[in-house]
Amino acid sequence: MIGFLVRRAASILVSLLIVSLLTFCIMHALPGDPFTQEQVLTEETLKALHHYYGLDQPLHVQYVRYLKNLLEFDFGPSMKYEGRSVNEIIADGFPVSFLLGLEAFCFAAGGGIAVGAIAALHRLKWQDHAVLVFAMIGISIPSFLLGTFLQYFLAMKLDIFPVARWGSFMHTVLPALTLGAFPFAFIAKLTRANMLEALHQDYILTARAKGINQFQLIYRHLLRNSLIPVMAYIGPLLGTILTGSFVVEKIYGIPGLGQWMIVSIQNRDYSVIMGLSIFYSAILMACVLLADCAARLMDPRIQWREVAVDRV
């Protein structure tokens, strides 16, 4: 286990280095800089700003200096918002995105597994058909269209939930449903397929022949073994959903990291783009690592070395 964690930690560091390098190169390959749109600035002021933020230095010098600050967990100052650092922006936006993502993840993972199990246990019955229909709808409808639909009917017409903004728990319901709809449908179909396959395995037939009760059969044998492939999807999903969705946060006016990423790209705010990209990647890789560990704990037959090889 220790060797597995050390190897994965090393691969995560290398991956983050690659992400930072690619992001840095793409940013500087685009035309313009953070101060291009400031028409009122004089040439002397632009030169002073470039010197202050080190943009007049060679690119390799800028990148090495950024890596040195990154080792101290300093993402640098924002180039468009005076007096604000990227660390402060993450501290303000991540709790919002995390809360929204956690609620959407609980809905997607918990609801998807439960619904998928019900569909598998009632194969070819109305419960199964209903789950397949709703899963197909959830996978097919894009999030921006679903969010608009929920806003119109549940907020504007029925006045059950607020239309947008961020405040109470009621403000989180529609964004969480919008954000979790696609993974909910995908997990439901994946769970159903895995459980249907497991129902025909010899160990299930043996357990039934021994007279094991229905609850133990579902929990200890069917569901537990069927969730191992689902964990491979839940790992990246958790990292993606916890950092928020650009589209969903934009639709509902949520002040999360998604909004900051969109604004920083529009403004070419180099330090914010770099910081958020690395932060997103670190969260995603950490969640994938947790999913690998969870799969090993759920099935002791999976060796730590095998998990690492599968990921490679």
Comparison of pLDDT for 299 and 269, the residue scoring more: 269
Closest CA to 100 of 233, 229, 230, 251: 251
Structure-derived torsion over alpha carbons of residues 268, 269, 271, 274, reported in degrees to the nearest 10: -50
- Answer yes or no: is 44 within a domain: no
pLDDT band at 291 (very low <50, low <70, confident <90, very high): confident
Question: What local confidence, expressed as pLDDT, does residue 137 receive?
Answer: 87
- pLDDT for residue 49: 83
The total of structural domains in the chain comes to 1
What integer is the mean pLDDT of 219-243? 76
> Is residue 13 in a domain?
no
Determine, yes or no, domain membership for 9.
no
Whether the pLDDT of residue 18 is over 90: the answer is yes
- 248-281 pLDDT, tens digit per residue, is 888 888 888 888 888 888 888 889 999 999 998 8
- Domain assignment of residue 179, given as a range: 86-311
Confidence of residue 244 (pLDDT cuts 50, 70, 90): low
Instruction: Please work out, in degrees rounded to the nearest 5, the angle formed at the alpha carbon of residue 264 by the alpha carbons of 31 and 262.
Output: 105
Q: What pLDDT, on the 0 to 100 scale, is given for residue 265?
A: 84
pLDDT winner (highest mean) among 167-171, 202-206, 232-236: 167-171
- Cα–Cα dist 156/163, whole Å: 7
Q: Which residues contact 113 (CB under 8 A, 6 or more apart)?
A: 187, 188, 191, 223, 227, 230
pLDDT at 170 over 70: yes
pLDDT at 299: 64
6 lies in some domain: no
Section 166-174 average pLDDT: 87
- pLDDT of amino acid 87: 92
Per-residue pLDDT band at 37 (split at 50, 70, 90)? low
pLDDT bracket for residue 20 (50, 70, 90): very high
Please report whether residue 34 resides in a domain: no
In a domain, residue 209? The reply is yes
Global confidence as pTM? 0.80
Mean pLDDT of 162-188: 88
Instruction: Put residue 308 in one of left, alpha, beta given phi > 0 → left and psi -120 to 50 → alpha.
Output: alpha
The mean predicted confidence, pLDDT, of the chain is 83
The mean per-residue pLDDT over the stretch 161-165 comes to 85
Span 59-83, average pLDDT: 88
- CATH number at 195 reads 1.10.3720.10
How confident is the model over 110-119, as pLDDT tens digits?
899 889 888 8
197 vs 36: which has the higher pLDDT? 197
Contact indicator for 178, 143 with CB cutoff of 8 Å: yes
159 Rama sector, left if φ>0, alpha if ψ -120 to 50, beta otherwise: left
pLDDT: is 88 or 82 the higher one? 88
Mean pLDDT, residues 102-106: 90
In a domain, 74, yes or no: no
Q: Which residue has the higher pLDDT, 4 or 27?
A: 27
Instruction: Give the mean pLDDT of 271-298.
Output: 84
In a domain, 169, yes or no: yes
Q: Which residues contact 107 (CB under 8 A, 6 or more apart)?
A: 176, 177, 180, 184
* Residue 309's pLDDT band (cuts 50, 70, 90): very low
